[in-house]
Structure formats: structure tokens, C-alpha cells
Amino acid sequence: MTPPIHVMKVRDAISVAADVARGFGLTVEQPMPLRSTNNAVAWLRPAEVVAKVSVGRSSRLHTELQVAQGLCALGGPVVSPAPELPAMVHCRDGLEMTFWKYHAQPSAAEPPPDRLAQALRRLHTALGQLPASLRASLPSYMEELRFVRSLLSDRTALPATSSADRSLLANTFDRLQARLDGLVSARKSVPIHGSPHPYNVLIVHGESVFIDFETTCMGPVEWDLAHLDEKAEPLFRDWIQPELLWLCRSMASVKTATLCSADIDRGDMREHAEWHLAHVREHVAPNVR
């Protein structure tokens, strides 16, 4: 049976990245694909290097690399670019790619919520110290949400979603957005990760560190906290507005349901789409006015 097109595309992208790494003298015998969303990501074993190749709708690898390098210089809790290759966006066969240091993960890799919250606070402090020119170039967190809304308006974008569920997501999105606009406009936007969920966290030397800074943006701290377990909230009590946090958590579920539904046949996207859709239907839509 022929693999799906997206699987073949990821395999081809990883193969190209492996060839680029070999060109810099690395031994790459059998790349191992890692979890990815908008990119093809693979451990180029046995080298201690991870390749990240852009295969999604748009590439923000340049921005991600700038942010990560700046955070590394500030001692932020982040994974660094791989020292074995030039820290740049490499181009080959029409593909853009970057290379990162590989860290083997323990079997129980998800950190306790309080430790993850501490790491996120350290990350926010470092993000606030990035050069002003870099911070000024970051998009609003609303940029991703505008894309989500465009998917909900496109009847061909979520083929596995019923018209009733699409309307539910769209109507809930609009009601949440109206309330978010009023609260966020009166609150200072700061540099945030944008999507610091557990899949974007690694454990290195027993500490939580972050990856995937393509999502770095300007927005309320509550938007980042919305992607963490509720048990992480106590460490942010002096930073957050409870109503805004609830709205951000609710919008994050609408976003996840939509984006996963748009790519529902890949990996575990269907599972996440169904969970968040049920959450929106049962806990968000009835409670947003």
C-alpha cells in the first residue's frame, strides 16, 4: 500500500535534512521521526542532532532561530541549536530547515505542573529581555486565531466536521473573541511562547526546557498559561486575570479542535480534535455569553 502523500512528504523532507547534515561531516545512519505538527522533525541518529524541516503552510524558522538564540544567550530554559552545524536556516531542494541539539527523554517525561510553571515564568522573564527590534517584529497572538477563523469560514477546510459542529465552533469563537477584545485591549501584551503545551517541553538535566518558538508572539500571559494544566496556575496568581484566563483556555480549545480537524488523518489529530470539540460543546459554548 502506498503511504499517504503527507507521510511521503515528511519522509522526503527528513531525507533531505539528513543529506545536509552529512555534508557537514555528521554520521547519520537511520533518522527517527519525532512528533511534529507543521514541520517534519527527526532525530538524525546516531548524531545528537534533531532536524526540523518546514513542510507546513508557512515557515517561521528564521524568527524561531533568532528567538532561541537570544534566549540561549540570556540563559533561558530553551533547547539550543545544534553546535555541530551553522546556526542558520539551511535551504535545500526548496525546503527550509534548522538543526537542534538532541536530548533523550525519560520514559515519564511530562514535568510536574509546578515545575513547568516555574520554567514558564523564567521563560517569560527572558522573553522580555530580548532585543527591542526582535520583540517589535513578533506578531500578535491574534494572527493564529485569524487563521483559525478563516478555516471555520471555509466549508472545504474541515471535511470530517459536520456543519452543526462547524457552526458551533464558529459561533463560540466569535463570542469568545468579542469578550477577549475588551479585556486584552486594556492589558499589556508581552512576548510569550504562544503554545507552551507539554509536547513543546523537554526534560533536560531534570529541568523543563521549551522548544518550538515558531509560535512566539505578543499577547497576554494568560494565553500561554491556557496551554498548561490548571495546577500550574498558583505560581501566576500575581500575574493573571481569572476571567481572561478562562476565555483564553476556552479559545485554546476552539483553536485546537479546529486545527486538528483540518489535519484529522495525521497522527493523533483525530483524538485531539474530538476531545476539544466535546469540551467546547459541553463546557465552553453553554457558558460564554
Query: Distances from the Cα of 264 to the Cαs of 14, 23, 48, 270, 273, in angstroms?
Result: 22, 36, 31, 5, 7
Using DSSP's 3-state secondary structure scheme, residue 43 falls into strand
Q: What's the pLDDT score for residue 68?
A: 98
Closest CA to 51 of 92, 91, 95, 21: 21
For the stretch 32-48, pLDDT in tens is 999 766 789 999 999 99
Where would I find the H helices in 94-162? 113-127, 132-136, 142-153
Q: What's the pLDDT score for residue 2?
A: 37
Residues in the chain: 289
> What is the C-alpha separation between 52 and 200, in angstroms, rounded?
13
Query: Distances from the Cα of 146 to the Cαs of 177, 234, 276, 289, in angstroms?
Result: 10, 30, 19, 20
Select the CATH number that applies to the domain covering 113-287 from these four: 3.90.1200.10, 3.30.70.270, 3.30.1360.30, 3.40.50.670.
3.90.1200.10
Here the cell at position 228 is 498548561
Q: What's the pLDDT score for residue 63?
A: 94
For the stretch 188-212, pLDDT in tens is 789 999 999 888 999 999 899 999 9
> For the chain, what are the domain ranges?
5-60+79-101, 113-287
Query: Quick check: 277 and 165 in contact, CB under 8 A?
Result: yes
Mean residue pLDDT across the chain: 91
For the stretch 115-155, pLDDT in tens is 899 999 999 999 999 999 999 999 999 999 999 999 999 98
H or E element: which one contains 134?
A: helix 132-136
For the stretch 59-118, pLDDT in tens is 799 999 999 999 999 999 999 999 999 999 999 999 999 999 999 998 765 778 888 999
Closest CA to 27 of 55, 47, 42: 47
